[in-house]
Chain A
Amino acid sequence: MAQKDTTPPPGAALRPPRVFKLVLLGSGSVGKSSLALRYVKNDFKSILPTVGCAFFTKVVHMEAASLKFEIWDTAGQEKYHSVCHLYLRGANAALLVYDITSKDSFVRAQSWLKDLESEFLPGEVVVMLLGNKTDLNKEREVTFEEGKEFAESKKLLFMETSARLNHQVTEAFSAVARELLQREETVGPTQKENARVALNEGPPRQVRCCAH
């Protein structure tokens, strides 16, 4: 498997940022697409010139380095759950999204976590639990504490957001980015020699330009 270039060689300024694949998981209509749309285009379900919003890219500039997110939206309907593990291949991060007004979606998020656990080694992928729709606080079924407790027990990042009000959305993605970069530094290049993810990533510098 390719070695991760943690120490950029001379001429690094020219090279494009490291690409991280982030998968959005969660039941239908919890706001996965809206979150991504809000984050990437700062928009909420308005008519856009882009055709689809299932695949996004965004370059993030952090203090230390910059990285490029490749955001993969997934179909959340229950019936597609069985095939969705295919999306997880080669992912670097996952956002487990649930709707704070639906207990059911919270339970589903937990079952998604099980899928992730079976697909990846612990620590291989950055997972964030995300309670969306805080603008509907009155109809809340899952308390902040419940979410936080679960996230802590599983060592996940946790936040509550509102894609509609653009509350905490960028912060959530940034937290994931920070965690990714941090792990990259501490874990180093040796960790990823896992046969199960042989096709995981191409060499890190082979960055694909987004068509849009």
Chain B
Amino acid sequence: MSLKSERRGIHVDQSELLCKKGCGYYGNSAWQGFCSKCWREEYHRARQKQIQEDWELAERLQREEEEAFASSQSNQGAQSLTFSKFEEKKTNEKTRKVTTVKKFFSASSRVGSKKEIPEVKAPSPSINRQTSIETDRVSKEFIEFLKTYHKTGQEIYKQTKLFLEAMHYKRELSIEEQSEFTQDFYQNMAERMQTRGKVPPERVEKIMDQIEKYIMTRLYKHVFCPETTDDEKKDLAIQKRIRALHWVTPQMLCVPVNEEIPEVSDMVVKAITDIIEMDSKRVPRDKLGCITRCSQHIFTAIRITKSEPASADDFLPTLIYIVLKGNPPRLQSNIQYITRFCNPSRLMTGEDGYYFTNLCCAVAFIEKLDAQSLNLSQEDFDRYMSGQTSPRKQESEAWSPGACLGVKQMYKNLDLLSQLNERQERIMSEAKKLEKDLIDWTDGIAKEVQDIVEKYPLDIKPPNQPLAAIDSENVENDKLPPPLQPQVYAG
């Protein structure tokens, strides 16, 4: 029976299986109903159109920006002449632009632009490219900054624009490829500046920072937590995990920070603020800056508590504690984003890199955290994790004196609430009792009445004779003297 209906369900008309274009071959739903040949033609056409549109848009944007650059440049007067020449050359070059891009980013860009990806195209670029106020501000700053480098500045600007355009066409590629392309760009730029531009190293670093700021402000929207990755899922997982670990105390982690000292708790709050702030920054380096500031506050907190400089043995547990307390938003996305798009020279070395590595360690530790790492028994750990009990509840007395005012007040309120709760419960139970008493009482009365009624059934006998004959039964009625007769006395 069921088999029959199933068969009917998958029945498809023969004509539906054929290519939509009617070439006679079979079509495939993966090719939107076309056969492979027709699909390729169709797709190619659509893609060409898209590419054409994108080029136009990119060119328009570039023109706009160059105008902005030119106008800001012409304000300087002396510079304007050389720049207009540069501008002219640019326009001439426009027709040959495709080859220019290829020339600069030969291997990788060729792969990127020619690769056909049978995926839905990215939403219309005009929406994506909406420039926010911040992007504008950063662009202006970037142009201002480059002005100080004259010719090298122009060259850098050109390269950066080309890179951004190339990135625009790489949007459909995997995030790893985009990341790799960006890293290559950083490296090429630094190398070119040094070898061709003869820029001294410390300057190179400054320029690289500016470049990073400029490109990442623009790319942020597309490459931070992209939909093609499971970054968001990981974010939610770690967030949930940290929430589940809300009961972890500094004592369990052996954190050498005493929050009873007001200065220390101040530092802890600042560190938490910094780590939370990280999410609001767009540029990887600014995000790293937040981590570094957070770390420095942690070091200060440890130093005040221990009155000796903190070592890594103290630092990592404290950072873990701060992350647990702060539960920073989109933690995994941020880490991934920094790893993929930060200038690599910052990440593996340098102070920022060190603190970033520590943060990665902290997150890895939180993910793996178990009873043993908190010096707890497995039963206790499970009970705390399931939320059955909280170690903090038992310690609430010990907690309150050191905590800040708000927390103290909270504990007081919690106390009050629990007292109220108790009283409420008492009232409820009393009320229940009263209700029960009342019911019992009515039942009791009813029962008593019933008993009495049963015991003394109410029998009303019908009257045998009319009331007039009330003395009819008297046996010796006849023997009575006759009733007295009324006599009249005249007197």
Contacts and interface: CB of A to CB of B under 8 A. Distances in A.
Q: Do A and B bind each other?
A: yes
Interface of A: 2, 14-16, 19, 21, 24, 28-29, 32-33, 37, 45-48, 50-55, 70, 72-77, 79-80, 82-84, 86-87, 89-90, 199-203, 205-211
Best-buried of B200, B208, B361 by chain A (most CB within 10 Å): B361
A5 B325 CA distance: 45
Nearest to A210: B351
Determine the main DSSP class of A at the interface with B.
loop
Interface in B133-166: none
A33 B302 CA distance: 15
B182 interface: no
Contact of B312 (A15, A70, A73): A73
B201 A15 contact: yes
B187 A54 contact: no
Contacts of A77: 254, 313, 317
Contacts of A33: 311-313
Given A206-B345, A208-B350, A54 B310 contact: yes
B308 interface: yes
Contacts of B194: 205
Interface of B: 187, 190-191, 194, 200-202, 204-205, 208, 254, 292, 295-296, 299-300, 302-303, 307-313, 315-317, 343-355, 357, 360-361, 364-365, 368, 372-373
A14 B203 CA distance: 12
| Residue from A14, A52, A84, A86 having most chain B Cβ neighbours under 10 A | A52
B349 A19 contact: yes
Contacts of B309: 37, 45, 47-48, 50-53
A32 to B, nearest CB: 7
A86 B349 contact: no
B344 A74 contact: no
15 contacts: A14-B200, A32-B313, A46-B308, A47-B309, A52-B315, A54-B354, A72-B312, A77-B313, A86-B364, A199-B344, A206-B343, A206-B345, A208-B349, A208-B352, A209-B202
A37 B205 CA distance: 28
Contact of A53 (B202, B311, B361): B311
Contact of B307 (A47, A75, A202): A47
Most A Cβ at <10 Å: residue of B311, B315, B343, B350? B311
Contacts of B313: 28-29, 32-33, 75-77
Contacts of A76: 312-313
Contacts of B292: 211
6 closest cross-chain pairs (CB), A and B: A202-B345, A33-B311, A52-B299, A208-B350, A90-B348, A73-B312
Contacts of B316: 75, 80
B206 to A, nearest CB: 11
A155 B308 CA distance: 37
B373 A79 contact: yes
Contact of B308 (A47, A82, A87, A200): A47
A199 B360 CA distance: 15
B190 A206 contact: yes
A86 B348 CA distance: 10
A90 B187 contact: no
Contacts of B187: 2, 202-203
B310 A53 contact: yes
A75 B350 CA distance: 18
A82 B200 contact: no
Nearest to A1: B187
A90 B295 CA distance: 21
Contacts of B296: 51-52
B348 A54 contact: no
A51 B297 CA distance: 9
Contacts of B190: 203, 205-206
